Structures are given as structure tokens and as C-alpha cells.
């Protein structure tokens, strides 16, 4: 672990670290916000943030304004990159496949399978790293935006013993049924659509995975609402399976970090309550 950035922020420290990932077979960066309570001894709960297409660890920490709320509630924020990186890592033209578009799956198809194992990285390697190097407890919540919202829902639902709280902004709730997901899943997982279901939040809810309550905020003026996000599919699955879901359609808000910044304080408070229960 090598610290490459450190900034005083709301009485705490916003840091960026680099490390070698054995799971991904490359060097990775992650952002860690340590609230002021981290200097007082003891271990703090952790909220993991998964970013969307084209993002790195920088987008969330520079645009969301979450640090002030993490400082208020005594929660560590961890924001990893969205894909493996490096000259030997497979890539593709366009923004929705390859670097910056890992989709938080374990790829099974060449050439992606060699490095694109973001599911295992987020679930296993990253928490172990964080809990070994920072004053972090094993009380974890997970949240994300767009592709990262998809990742947060899937990872949280599939690992209820690991994550006490799950929320998302503008998530791709049914990647098996929309163009972004169909393109990525075909490349990473192959043509067998049955194999896609374990990475589809709507399918997981429909099949009764976990009972962890979900909080989802969606902008009503989001340009991707009907074509790529389709939150009504998750809502229908939740109603059919009696899964606790709070879905809030926020009129006038788009897909940007202006939307996230407007409601991130409510999400951090919601996670903090669950993590400290």
C-alpha cells in the first residue's frame, strides 16, 4: 500500500492509495476518507462507493461532497476504481466496455477473464485490505451510481452477511434487459443469458435473494431513465417478492453528480443508522 494523495477535509483526511491487486493482476487505486473520529481510537464502519461508467476513484471524492456527512456520522468512505488498469489489461473502443467499465462482474470470456474480476475484488480483496490497513470494522454498507449502482445492488444482495445496508443512485437495475448490460455481459460472460442472472439485481430480487432493505434514488429528468435504467422493473420485482424497497423518483434531476450531491447526505445518514444499529 502506497499513499499517493492526502488532503485535510472536514476535520479528517481524504487519501488516495495504490496497491497491487492479486485478484485483478494489476496495480489499483482506491480513495479512502478517514473522518475525524478515526484519530480517536477504535474502529469505524465503512461505506463502500462504486462509481459508474468512465469513472475512476476521483469522481466521487471530488464531486459528491460526501465527506462532510461521513465526518458528521463517523463513517469511513472507500471508493475504488471501476475496472482493472494497465498496459496489459484488455480494452475496447467506446466508453461502455473495457477500462472504466468493469461492471463489477467476474469475466469468464477471453480476453477479459485474465483481469476483469471486479466482483471478487470488491467482495473479498478490497475489504480485507481496508480492514487490515485502516481503523475499519467489518460493519459495511455499499452504495453506487449507474453502473456502480448496479454493482452495489448485486454485491449487497448476494452477500447479506457482508453488507448491512445497500443503496444506489440511478442504478442499472436490470442489465440483462438493457443495451449497456447486454453489451457488457455478452463480452464478459458469454452468450448464455442464464449466467447473466446472478449479476442482475432485478432477477436477484425476484428470486428472493436476501431481505436487506434497498434505498434507490432516481432522477426524473435522467436522459438514460427509460433506455438503460428502468427502475420500474426493480420495483415490480420487489413488490412481487415482498422485498423492502424505497424507490424515490426525484423530479427535475438528471444523471450527473449534481443529483448525487443533492441527496448523498441522506444516503450517508441512512447507511450510518444501519451500520451502527
The catalytically annotated residue of 13, 21, 83, 146 is 146
* Secondary structure tally for the chain: helices H, strands E: 10, 9
For 31, the 3-state DSSP assignment is strand
- The one catalytic residue in 81, 200, 217, 222 is 222
Rounded to whole angstroms, how far apart are CA atoms 84 and 6? 23
Radius of gyration of the chain (CA): 17
Strand order in the sheet with 26-34: 2-9, 12-21, 26-34, 76-80, 44-50, 136-145, 165-169, 214-219, 245-250
Among 145, 255, 267, 271, the active-site one is 255
Grid coordinates given for 21:
491487486
Residue 255 falls in the annotated catalytic set: yes
Active site residue 145: no
d(CA 98, CA 116): 9
Q: Establish whether 146 is a catalytic residue.
A: yes
Catalytic residues: 146, 222, 255
Amino acid at each position: 500500500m502506497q499513499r499517493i494523495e492526502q488532503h485535510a477535509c472536514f476535520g479528517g483526511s481524504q487519501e488516495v492509495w495504490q496497491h497491487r491487486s492479486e485478484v485483478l493482476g494489476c496495480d489499483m487505486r482506491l480513495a479512502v476518507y478517514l473522518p475525524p473520529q478515526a484519530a480517536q481510537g477504535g474502529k469505524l464502519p465503512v461505506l463502500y462507493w462504486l462509481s459508474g461508467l468512465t469513472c475512476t476513484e476521483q469522481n466521487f471524492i471530488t464531486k459528491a461532497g460526501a465527506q462532510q456527512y461521513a465526518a458528521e456520522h463517523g463513517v469511513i468512505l472507500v471508493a475504488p476504481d471501476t475496472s482493472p488498469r494497465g498496459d496489459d489489461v484488455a480494452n475496447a473502443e467506446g466508453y461502455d466496455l473495457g477500462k472504466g467499465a468493469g461492471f463489477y462482474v467476474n469475466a469468464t470470456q477471453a480476453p477479459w477473464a485474465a483481469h476483469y474480476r471486479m466482483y471478487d475484488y470488491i467482495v473479498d480483496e478490497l475489504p480485507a485490505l481496508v480492514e487490515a490497513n485502516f481503523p475499519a470494522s467489518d460493519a459495511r454498507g455499499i452504495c453506487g451510481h449507474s453502473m456502480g449502482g448496479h454493482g452495489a445492488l448485486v454485491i449487497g444482495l448476494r452477500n447479506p452477511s457482508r453488507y448491512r445496508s445497500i443503496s444506489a443512485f440511478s442504478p442499472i437495475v436490470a442489465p440483462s434487459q438493457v443495451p449497456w448490460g447486454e453489451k457488457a455481459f455478452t463480452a464478459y460472460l458469454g452468450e448464455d443469458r442464464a449466467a447473466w442472472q446472478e449479476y442482475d439485481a432485478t432477477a436477484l430480487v425476484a428470486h428472493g435473494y436476501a431481505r436487506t432493505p434497498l434505498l434507490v434514488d432516481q432522477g426524473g429528468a435522467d436522459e438514460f431513465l427509460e433506455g438503460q435504467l428502468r427502475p420500474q422493473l426493480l420495483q415490480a420485482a420487489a413488490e412481487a417478492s415482498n422485498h423492502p424497497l424505497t424507490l424515490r423518483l426525484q423530479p427535475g434531476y438528471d444523471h450527473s453528480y449534481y443529483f448525487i450531491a443533492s441527496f448523498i447526505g441522506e444516503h450517508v445518514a441512512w447507511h450510518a443508522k444501519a451500520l451502527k444499529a
